[in-house]
Amino acid sequence: DTWRDGIHSYLTYLRDRLTVARDLLTESGSIFVQIGDENVHRVRAVMDEVFGDENFVAQISTKTSGGSTGVYLPGVMDYLLWFARNQACLKFRPLFGSKELGDSGAEKYSRLQLKTLERRSLNAAERSQETRLPDDARVYRQDNLTSQSVGRDKGEGAASWFPVRVDGREIRPSIKVRWKTNEDGMLRLQRAERVELTGNSLAYVRFLDDFSATNITNAWTDIGGVQSRADPKVYVVQSPTTLIQRCLLMTTDPGDLVLDPTCGSGTTAYVAEQWGRRWITVDTSRVALALARARIMGARYPYYLLADSREGQVKEAELSRSAPSSQPTRGSIAHGFVYERVPHITLKSIANNAEIDVIWEQAQHTLEPLRAQLNAALGQAWEEWQIPREADAKWPAAARAAHAAWWRARIERQRDIDASIAARADTEYLYDKPY
């Protein structure tokens, strides 16, 4: 666009429209402005003035739709300025990406637990993913089990400062730290096989699938230009649908109203229609409105399960392991969709899971007699942690049978504990993945 008085008239034009947008927003609403690097600092200053700098939420970086620009360093980024009408009331729905071995945020996951419960480090080929991991193997990392807990007492007699006995050794935290849980919680962590010796200290075993997602940051470099054949570029400044989708999913719910005062190709309306948002889009160009109208009228969208439907109630009950709701349904979009979800297992949720104690005690009725039989057959006094994984070929038949039965029961106990941990963990909704 060209402006008679240069940047001054542009910023005046923008300020007037931002003021109207602010007045139209609900208290929990958000506004996004997409801008290049030439004017992002100027527009940010205007938005600080209109919305207040205390309502600035984030500056998001995205890849440009066109080619790189710049004389010295190629410019390949555009920016989204995100402000809230009132940040104290901001509606926010977190979005997540998948967390895979070797990805950013998963570099420290360097150990492996096999289905036999044997643990080892990943080899070079497994780290580089040149070879597949063994079936039913779980990748994990050794995490910190102590806390500085500034202001809290430490040392002998303080809460969460106590000796822990692991594999025949007594481990105490250093005088400057304390355990992250109390004695009951530590016992449950041990029974769940979530505590591992590391030299003269203890580590918390954190599996990669404890939370197989990672928070989306303000660097959206995975979003490129408009390249979809199903939704081709029809307008010179058309935004990628994924970009608008993230903005809508983070800040609105189905049934909410979205306004785009610069319609262009109608991407905002196109995305809002797909995700069950009501929308208004405005433009001074008849060409833009004609293109947007044709695009929306010819669009085809996937079908999503409404939470306020009988099918949605049944699916929700299946996911939450509960009885289906008996409430009457009206098919209201305002109730949202039924979303996929991922477990979010934390140290705290394991330490507070009393069902682990029940599973452990029940399993001991089977495991302890088998351990006694094995020790009697071999003339040993093995504790649970001393029983080898492989039976010696020279053992008598009675010892080999007791050994095999003990390990079957031992693995079954761990499977039951892991299932309890997963069932009682918190969950995170994947708002971009409705059923």
Write the CATH number for 240: 3.40.50.150
The pTM of this model reads 0.77
Same domain, 322 and 392: no
Domain presence at residue 341: no
**Confidence at residue 234, expressed as pLDDT on a 0 to 100 scale:** 46
Residues 139 and 206 in one domain: yes
Residue 330 and residue 385 in one domain = no
**Do both 318 and 401 map to the same domain?**
no
Q: Domain boundary at 313, 335, 357, which?
A: 335
Same domain, 296 and 318: no
Q: Tokens standing for 327?
A: 């409430």
Are 357 and 417 contained in the same domain?
Answer: yes
User: Angle formed by the axes of helices 7-24 and 40-51, to 10°?
Assistant: 40
Q: Is 201 helix (H, G, I), strand (E, B) or coil?
A: strand
What's residue 303's pLDDT?
92
Q: Is residue 430 part of a domain?
A: no
263 assigned to some structural domain: yes
Range of the domain at 309: 305-335
Q: Are residues 14 and 107 in the same domain?
A: no
For residue 202, is it within any domain?
Answer: yes
- Domain-located, residue 342: no
Task: Say what the pLDDT of residue 257 is.
Answer: 95
Q: What are phi and psi of 232, to 5 degrees?
A: -70, 165
In a 13 Å sphere around the CA of 185, the CA atoms on its Cβ side amount to: 17
How is residue 345 written in tokens?
Answer: 């297992």
Regarding whether 414 and 374 lie in a shared domain, the answer is yes
Q: How far is CA 120 from the centre of its chain?
A: 26
First to last CA, the chain: 42
* Residue-level pLDDT at 319: 84
Residue 102 shares a structural domain with residue 185 = yes
Residue 356 is assigned to a structural domain of this protein:
yes
Number of domains in the chain: 5
* Shared domain check, 328 and 403: no
Choose one of 212, 239, 267: the last residue of a domain: 212
134 and 198 part of one domain: yes
Same domain, 283 and 236: yes
Over its length of 435 residues, how does the chain's per-residue pLDDT go in tens digits?
Answer: 456 677 888 888 889 999 999 999 999 999 999 988 888 999 999 999 999 999 999 999 988 765 556 677 777 888 999 999 999 999 999 999 888 887 777 788 889 999 999 989 988 888 888 888 888 899 999 999 888 765 555 455 556 788 888 888 888 888 888 889 999 999 999 999 999 998 888 999 999 988 888 888 899 888 765 555 455 554 445 567 888 999 999 999 999 999 999 888 888 999 999 999 999 999 888 888 888 898 888 888 999 999 999 998 899 888 877 788 888 889 899 999 999 988 899 999 999 999 999 999 999 999 999 999 999 999 989 999 999 989 888 999 999 999 999 999 999 999 999 999 988 888 899 999 999
Q: Which of 31, 66, 92 is the last residue of a domain?
A: 92
